[in-house]
Amino acid sequence: MRTRKIPLRKCVACQDMMSKKELIRVVRTPSEEISIDLTGKKAGRGAYLCGKVACFRLAKRSKALDRALKQPVSESIYDELEREFVAVEQQFVESKEMAEE
Ligand SMILES: [Zn+2]
C-alpha cells in the first residue's frame, strides 16, 4: 500500500466525502452532453455521486446535478441518467469488490 493521500470527492446528493473510486462520476462534456463516466477521465465538468441509486434519486429530487454541473438538467435527462445509473450500479459494485480483494 502506498501512503499517498487519497483524494476525496463529495457526493452531490448526500454530501459525504469519499475516495473517487467509491463514487460514480457524472460528466457534462464540452458539447453539453450529460452522461455517466465510469472511467472518471472524460473531459468536462464532473459531479460525483455515491454508487447508490438511492443517492441518484436524492440528487434528482433536490436538483443537485443542476447545481453541480452549473447547467439546468431536464427531467428527461435525469430519467435517462437514472436508467444508466441502475445499469452501471451492479457493474460498479462488482469492480469495487474486485479492487478490494
Ligand atoms: Zn451520496
Question: Residue 32 C-alpha to ligand 1 middle, in angstroms?
Answer: 24
Question: Residue 65 C-alpha to ligand 1 middle, in angstroms?
Answer: 12
Residue 5: the pLDDT is 81
* Fold for the domain defined by 8-100: Hypothetical Cytosolic Protein; Chain: A; (3.30.1230)
The residue ranges of every structural domain in the chain are 8-100
Q: Which three cell numbers stand for residue 3?
A: 501512503
Question: Residue 50 C-alpha to ligand 1 middle, in angstroms?
Answer: 4
Question: Residue 21 C-alpha to ligand 1 middle, in angstroms?
Answer: 13
- pLDDT tens for the chain, 101 residues long, are 666 788 899 999 999 999 988 899 999 999 989 999 988 899 999 999 998 999 999 999 999 999 999 999 999 999 999 999 998 888 877 877 877 76
Residue 39: the pLDDT is 87
How many Cβ atoms are within 10 Å of 55's Cβ, its own excluded? 21
Strands 45-50 and 34-37: unpaired
Q: How far is it, in rounded angstroms, from Cα 8 to Cα 17?
A: 6
What own/partner pairs with CB < 8 Å and gap ≥ 24 does 5-11 have? 9/48, 10/48, 11/48, 11/49, 11/50, 11/55
